[in-house]
Amino acid sequence: MSDTRQTIPANGSFYELIVALYEQQQQASVLYEDNGVTRANGIITEIFEKEGTKWFRLNDGTEVRIDKLYAVNGTFSSDYSEC
């Protein structure tokens, strides 16, 4: 077993990963900032822009700002350390 984890580069974005999951209609399991670390799961039904930032919507109606993501399907942002 390895203690390394998948991370995106320091100034990277989850955008490409979100687009791939949307196009493949695969389950997304995400951690994001919403007054604390919040977890959501579902199929991405839409990717859109609101007030100049990129968002996505899950099939349960949850809307998440892509720049507030900490993790997507086990891949973490490099600055997220609360595991």
Q: Which pLDDT band, with edges at 50, 70 and 90, does 1 fall under?
A: very low
pLDDT at position 6 is 84
- Reported for 20-25, long-range contacts at CB under 8 A and 24+ positions apart, including other chains, are 21/72, 21/73, 22/46, 22/47, 22/56
Q: Quick check: 8 and 23 in contact, CB under 8 A? A: no
What would you report as the CA-atom Rg of the chain, rounded to the nearest whole angstrom?
A: 12
Q: Within 10 Å of residue 66's Cβ, how many Cβ atoms?
A: 20
CA 31, 57, 29, 15 torsion: positive or negative? Answer: negative
User: Using one digit for the tens of pLDDT, what is the confidence trace for 4-35?
Assistant: 678 887 777 899 999 999 999 999 999 999 99
